[in-house]
C-alpha cells in the first residue's frame, strides 16, 4: 500500500474514534448553549483527538504494514476510549490508577490475580493525565504480549506504586516488573512509539522521570512524578476503628 493509502486508512481510524465517542454521549458538535460541565468534556475530547492525530502521524511513519498499523492504532484508541467512558459519569472525580493499569492488561486477557499482581495506594488521576497514563500502560502491556512476560507460560507482571510525601506534592513512584524470561536482549531495536511515549511524552505531560531496564529475566520500568493537584490526588484509606472490642 502506498503512503497515501496508508495515511487514508489511519485517518479512517480517527473517524472511528469520533463515532465511538459520540456513541458514548460525547457530542463533539454540541452547541454553545451546553452546560459548563459538557463544555469541559468537549474541551478534553478535542485535546484527545489532537493526541490521536499525533499518534496517527507517528504510526504512519513507522516501517510497518497498514494492517499492523491499524491493529496497533485500535489498541491505542481503545485505551483512550476506556478512559473517556469511565470519566463520563463524573469527570471531576478522577480516574483510579489501579483500574487504568488493570484495564490495560485485561484488554490483552492478562487478568489480575493470575499472572498479574497490582498493588498501591488509591490514587485518582485527572482525566488528561489518565489518558496519557492509559496509553503508557497500554504500551507496556502490548510490549509484554509481543516480546515480554506474556510470551512465556511462567511470565509474571508486578505493578506496584508508592507515595513519598516529602516536598510540596507527594511523589508517585510506579514500578512495572516483568519476570520469567530468559536471555532478554539488553535493549530492543528499533525503539519505537512505546519508548517515546514512556520517556518523552510522560516527561512533557507529567514532568515524569522514566527508566527502562531490559534485564535477562524481563523488563523493569520505573515512572516517578510529583502528584500535583492538577494531576491527581491521593485517597486516604479509612482509619481503622481503634475502640475497645
Contact partners, residue 226, CB within 8 Å, separation at least 6:
167, 168, 169, 170, 171, 172, 207
Of 140, 160, 150, residue with least CA distance to 98: 160
Confidence of residue 144 (pLDDT cuts 50, 70, 90): very high
User: pLDDT at residue 27 above 60?
Assistant: no
For residue 32, what pLDDT is reported? 46
**Helix or strand run (H / E) with residue 35:** none
What is the rounded distance in angstroms from the CA atom of residue 24 to the CA atom of residue 88?
Answer: 8
Give residue-wise pLDDT tens across range 158-209. Answer: 999 999 987 789 999 999 999 999 887 776 656 678 888 899 999 999 999 9
User: pLDDT at residue 123 above 50?
Assistant: yes
Average pLDDT over all residues of the chain? 80
User: pLDDT at residue 47 above 60?
Assistant: yes
Give residue-wise pLDDT tens across range 59-75. Answer: 665 556 777 777 887 88
C-alpha cell at 218: 524481563
Residues 62-73 as b or e (16 or more Cβ within 10 Å = b) = eeeebeebbebb
The segment(s) of the chain belonging to CATH 3.30.565.10 are 94-236
Beta-strand pair 218-226/116-119: unpaired
Contact partners, residue 182, CB within 8 Å, separation at least 6:
216, 217
3-state helix, strand, coil in the chain (%, to 5): 50, 20, 35
Local structure of residue 197 (DSSP, 8 states): I
Q: Return the residue matching grid coordinates 493509502.
A: 5
Per CATH, the number for 94-236 is 3.30.565.10
Beta-strand pair 95-96/116-119: unpaired
C-alpha cell at 180: 520469567
Position with higher pLDDT, 165 vs 119: 119
Task: Compute the average pLDDT of residues 88-106.
Answer: 87
Question: Is the Cβ–Cβ distance between 66 and 6 less than 8 Å?
Answer: yes
For residue 236, what pLDDT is reported? 82
Task: Compute the average pLDDT of residues 97-113.
Answer: 94
Question: Is the Cβ–Cβ distance between 163 and 197 less than 8 Å?
Answer: no
Give residue-wise pLDDT tens across range 215-240. Answer: 999 999 999 999 999 999 999 876 55
**Cis, bond preceding 190 (omega within 30 deg of 0):** yes
Residues 210-241 as b or e (16 or more Cβ within 10 Å = b) = bebebeeebbebbbbbebeeebbbeeeeeeee
What is the rounded distance in angstroms from the CA atom of residue 60 to the CA atom of residue 128?
Answer: 24
pTM, whole model, 2 decimals? 0.77
For residue 84, what pLDDT is reported? 76
Amino acid at each position: 500500500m502506498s503512503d497515501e493509502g496508508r495515511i487514508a486508512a489511519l485517518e479512517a481510524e480517527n473517524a472511528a474514534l469520533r463515532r465511538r465517542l459520540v456513541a458514548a454521549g460525547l457530542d463533539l458538535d454540541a452547541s454553545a448553549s451546553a452546560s459548563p460541565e459538557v463544555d469541559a468534556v468537549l474541551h478534553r475530547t478535542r485535546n484527545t483527538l489532537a493526541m490521536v492525530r499525533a499518534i496517527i502521524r507517528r504510526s504512519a511513519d513507522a516501517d510497518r504494514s497498514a494492517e499492523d498499523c491499524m491493529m496497533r492504532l485500535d489498541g491505542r484508541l481503545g485505551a483512550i476510549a476506556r478512559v473517556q467512558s469511565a470519566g463520563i459519569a463524573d469527570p471531576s472525580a478522577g480516574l483510579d490508577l489501579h483500574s487504568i493499569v488493570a484495564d490495560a492488561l485485561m484488554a490483552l486477557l492478562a487478568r489480575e490475580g493470575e499472572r498479574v499482581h497490582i498493588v498501591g495506594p488509591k490514587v485518582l488521576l485527572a482525566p488528561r493525565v489518565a489518558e496519557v497514563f492509559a496509553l503508557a500502560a497500554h504500551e507496556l502491556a502490548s510490549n509484554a504480549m509481543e516480546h515480554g512476560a506474556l510470551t512465556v507460560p511462567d511470565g509474571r507482571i508486578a505493578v506496584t506504586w508508592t507515595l513519598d510525601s516529602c516536598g510540596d506534592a507527594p511523589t508517585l513512584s510506579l514500578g512495572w516488573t516483568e519476570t520469567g524470561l530468559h536471555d532478554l536482549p539488553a535493549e530492543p531495536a528499533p525503539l519505537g512509539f512505546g519508548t517515546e511515549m514512556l520517556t518523552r511524552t510522560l516527561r512533557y505531560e507529567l514532568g515524569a522521570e522514566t527508566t527502562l531496564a531490559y534485564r535477562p529475566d524481563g523488563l523493569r520500568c520505573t515512572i516517578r512524578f510529583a502528584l500535583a493537584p492538577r494531576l491527581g490526588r491521593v485517597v486516604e484509606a479509612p482509619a481503622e476503628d481503634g475502640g475497645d472490642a
